[in-house]
Chain A
Amino acid sequence: NAGVTQTPKFQVLKTGQSMTLQCAQDMNHEYMSWYRQDPGMGLRLIHYSVGAGITDQGEVPNGYNVSRSTTEDFPLRLLSAAPSQTSVYFCASSQGALYSPLHFGNGTRLTVT
């Protein structure tokens, strides 16, 4: 199993550009989530999904959209990139939302100039 796969690994955007960060998992996990991590800080939840067709906002959802059309994929869209969105983005999945540990992708390092 590949686990959780994120693409791209690195991305540079100009302010105002849009892009989609891809996340796919092959473990048949119901729960998926997106976090961002700024230097010297912990992970903050952007959006999460408890199953296909269901998404909800986390702690810092503004400027991001998600969709969950399949169990496997959970893309994160930046609508109009801003320098404040420069961060490392991690996608994670787990078997359930409550008692199961999270499995993380390798991360996407995004710089917005």
Chain B
Amino acid sequence: RKEVEQDPGPFNVPEGATVAFNCTYSNSASQSFFWYRQDCRKEPKLLMSVYSSGNEDGRFTAQLNRASQYISLLIRDSKLSDSATYLCVVTPPNAGKSTFGDGTTLTVKP
């Protein structure tokens, strides 16, 4: 089993739709969690950190469920510019070995 697994995608949604991605992790002692966005052939860029109480940044909401060992990303009112690959990142107690999921590709269509 992979340490970090993401919904395989791809997700193709119309503009204005709400879409949600999940990411499960195997190490229950994992300490920190992030969502990154990666545009084609570019470097990943931080979208948001994921806090235990859940957090929101505009149209984006991230949540952590420690009991079920997953994090989620909700995008509301999708824009064409949201088209990208979304990567979840999990850092275990052995700090330094951040593990990336394989990514979920989102395409928002007009």
Interface residues of A (CB under 8 A from B): 31, 33, 35, 40-45, 48, 50, 56, 58-59, 88, 90, 96-99, 101-107
Contact = CB atoms under 8 A, between A and B. Distances in A.
Contacts of A107: 41-43
Given A31-B96, A48-B96, A42 B46 contact: no
A49 B45 CA distance: 20
Contacts of A33: 96, 98
Given A35-B100, A42-B102, A50-B95, A99 B31 contact: yes
Contacts of B98: 33, 45, 102
Nearest to B44: A104
Contacts of A97: 91, 95-96
B91 A43 contact: no
A97 B103 CA distance: 22
B96 A42 contact: no
A59 B92 CA distance: 13
Contacts of B49: 101
